[in-house]
Structure 1
């Protein structure tokens, strides 16, 4: 089945009555998966370290802060505090500071306070702030003979080793589960390779507005600035789609769709594009089901059959809100969205022109001044 864009608006999905997440965006399946991943990761980390150190080693196979690191790594992988460098750098640097504090200060209470305080400062300046780092500093100070016997090596073995193994397992897990980790917020890119800002960023709030709002609130949030910008822009789109949800794709789509068969020639497809003055042709298989699209970009210098040139289609359903297609049709790549039913039968097509007309219809009507009789 072809990918359907845009996704179902988030305001329609509600959390389970008995699962009330403390973090925005959390779902019950993600939490259960995080539990399973943490189970495997902690056991594997301990087993691998056991094989490396040997069973008779007095060195701890895995240190306590790894449990807290696992919570961040698997439960909130998009957090800036859960990225690879904060986990590895935060734990290792904090353990180093803890060892230094323990060796320089005889009173353990003062040493723990100094160790945690300096660990926060060091992690902040090295851009690897990681809450379990505070526990790593405490462990280095209060770890007893096992830690003291290793001295300066303790931050590297087992702390850094544990951290590296945990991150490696986390990278593999998130790749298999198709999560964005390490989390990178990719801003919209101008696909025309010009100096202009992408269309989605030219209207509405700007980066300086977000900076001003953060300064006014005087709070720190567990989200990086680029992710915050992306989230707020998506909120704008969701609000537009919700407030104009009465305009459905079926209301504005073209129904007499110009399409081409999968075994058609490039010459036939190019003639259809130019003759009908359209920019995208849906491609049908032998059962007349949608299999993809071709446009003038693919057909310009090609020859032979259209089949090798087919691109993955962007599709939607007739009952989807029409204005939910805004991010798709304004990204500079797609020129049309194909409207299909559940069986991939082509029902219609919405072009950028169709969507522009729908947006114009959704704008508030100007209020006409009333003349007051003398």
Structure 2
């Protein structure tokens, strides 16, 4: 069992202690309670552990607690009508457990009630159905009501509520866990023999939290250099506006990095700024009365942005998520000693997440079962093979909206 915070330890222990004190006080106030076979049983303490320490457990829910205790008080009385002690001891416990499980009301402390009834019978005390009503059912009900009030005071939902039709709202996630219904989650718990340990709603929250933690760990452990696009397509500061627009249109991208002749990063050219400048030039050309020649075509240096902070290749990807979430930050330039070495885009991060998705693992498993393709001829030059691979991989990059780095081959 994992370590629990001190607050949780005190909350559960104090709640169980107060509940037992409360039912003890009730029994004490009753006159001649012992003579009337009205007394506390040790199973109440075990029930208090479930109700106050593990209130989310299916074993602690009101249906399981109340019905389980009632079943375990009635079944041994019926067994004793047929089989005498000591043979009735084990049979009464077994029959109580089987009946509780069949009624979907398994409550482990209740099995002690079944054995108690048989032991009292051996001692000459014959407990009837009245014992099942009071103290068993009545005091169990008191414990359940007390647990509802106590847990609600600490913000704990007891009884545990099932998932509604809007599972995404219940578990607060947008991951794959939200697509599982209450029935799917319950079937999973039955399949792995955990239906008595975990409620479907808690399993949904657990899956959502695990997905979130896994994504955080993946992004925190992955470095920018591992997912960035290397050697991005760029323009020089002297590149005219027509060249910039042509590259953006051909690559289907919104941003292009600007580097000098030595490869030093200077800034970024955004599609919106390029189009604004282009519209200004078109507007000048369309004027009917022009007494002077049109101005020269704008260059990249006139419209580039220099306020985009660069990062190095050993930066964790997770630290850049908030930055890339902003509308104006389409890409993050990656530099090494001032030289542009790559660019990280939203598409790169999406590709990383998709690579580790369940669908990707399933696809890899299916592909591993297939026959591997034949290797290229041994007499083929390495350059030709690499060139063929680049040609096949480039179109996938060309189709991404935010990825400005797909290499293109200039037309002859």
TM range (shorter): 0.5 to 0.7
Partner of 1:340: none
Partner of 2:68: 90
Count of residues in correspondence between the two structures: 247
The answer as to whether partners of 1:95 and 1:136 remain within 8 angstroms in 2 is yes
Distance in 2 (CA, whole Å) between partners of 1:120 and 1:29 is 34
Query: Are 2:100 and 1:123 equivalent residues in the alignment?
Result: yes
Distance in 2 (CA, whole Å) between partners of 1:166 and 1:214 is 28
**Equivalent of 2:214 in 212, 218, 239:** 239
Distance in 2 (CA, whole Å) between partners of 1:322 and 1:37 is 45
Q: Classify the secondary structure of the residue corresponding to 2:44.
A: helix
Query: Are 2:210 and 1:223 equivalent residues in the alignment?
Result: no
CA-to-partner distance for each residue in 1:262-298, whole Å, 9 max, x for gaps? xxxxxxxxxxxxxxxxxxxxxxxxxxxxxxxxxxxxx
The answer as to whether partners of 2:59 and 2:107 remain within 8 angstroms in 1 is yes
Distance in 2 (CA, whole Å) between partners of 1:134 and 1:35 is 22
Partner of 2:78: 100
Distance in 1 (CA, whole Å) between partners of 2:177 and 2:206 is 16
The answer as to whether partners of 2:73 and 2:117 remain within 8 angstroms in 1 is yes
Partner of 2:153: 176
Query: Are 2:350 and 1:363 equivalent residues in the alignment?
Result: yes
RMSD (Å) for aligned C-alpha atoms: 4.1
Distance in 1 (CA, whole Å) between partners of 2:330 and 2:67 is 49
User: Which of these two proteins has the greater Rg computed from alpha carbons?
Assistant: 2
Distance in 1 (CA, whole Å) between partners of 2:45 and 2:67 is 16
Distance in 1 (CA, whole Å) between partners of 2:329 and 2:157 is 31
Partner of 2:24: 46
Partner of 2:229: none
The answer as to whether partners of 2:38 and 2:131 remain within 8 angstroms in 1 is no
The answer as to whether partners of 1:101 and 1:111 remain within 8 angstroms in 2 is yes
Judged with a 3 Å threshold, the aligned counterparts in structure 2 of structure 1 residues 102 and 177 are, in CA distance, closer, same or farther, namely: same
The answer as to whether partners of 2:58 and 2:199 remain within 8 angstroms in 1 is yes
Distance in 2 (CA, whole Å) between partners of 1:322 and 1:115 is 63
How much has 1:321 moved relative to structure 2?
A: 7.2
Q: Classify the secondary structure of the residue corresponding to 1:67.
A: helix
Distance in 2 (CA, whole Å) between partners of 1:76 and 1:355 is 47
Distance in 2 (CA, whole Å) between partners of 1:56 and 1:97 is 23
Distance in 2 (CA, whole Å) between partners of 1:201 and 1:147 is 61
Distance in 2 (CA, whole Å) between partners of 1:218 and 1:150 is 35
1:125-274 correspondence runs (5 A) = 125-144=102-121, 148-186=125-163, 189=166, 200=174, 206=180, 217=192, 222-245=197-220
The answer as to whether partners of 1:241 and 1:321 remain within 8 angstroms in 2 is no
Distance in 1 (CA, whole Å) between partners of 2:199 and 2:132 is 28
TM-score (norm 1): 0.55
Q: Classify the secondary structure of the residue corresponding to 2:66.
A: helix
Partner of 1:68: 46
Judged with a 3 Å threshold, the aligned counterparts in structure 2 of structure 1 residues 176 and 211 are, in CA distance, closer, same or farther, namely: closer
Name which of structure 1's ranges 25-34 and 200-209 shifts more when overlaid on structure 2: 200-209
Q: Classify the secondary structure of the residue corresponding to 2:93.
A: helix
Distance in 2 (CA, whole Å) between partners of 1:185 and 1:69 is 22
TM-score (norm 2): 0.50
1:324-335 correspondence runs (5 A) = none
How much has 1:203 moved relative to structure 2?
A: 7.6
Distance in 1 (CA, whole Å) between partners of 2:32 and 2:14 is 27
How much has 1:233 moved relative to structure 2?
A: 1.9
Distance in 1 (CA, whole Å) between partners of 2:329 and 2:177 is 17
Judged with a 3 Å threshold, the aligned counterparts in structure 2 of structure 1 residues 86 and 211 are, in CA distance, closer, same or farther, namely: closer
Partner of 1:276: none
Judged with a 3 Å threshold, the aligned counterparts in structure 2 of structure 1 residues 114 and 212 are, in CA distance, closer, same or farther, namely: closer
Larger RCO, structure (CA 8 Å, separation 6 or more): 1
How much has 1:87 moved relative to structure 2?
A: 0.9
The answer as to whether partners of 1:188 and 1:200 remain within 8 angstroms in 2 is no
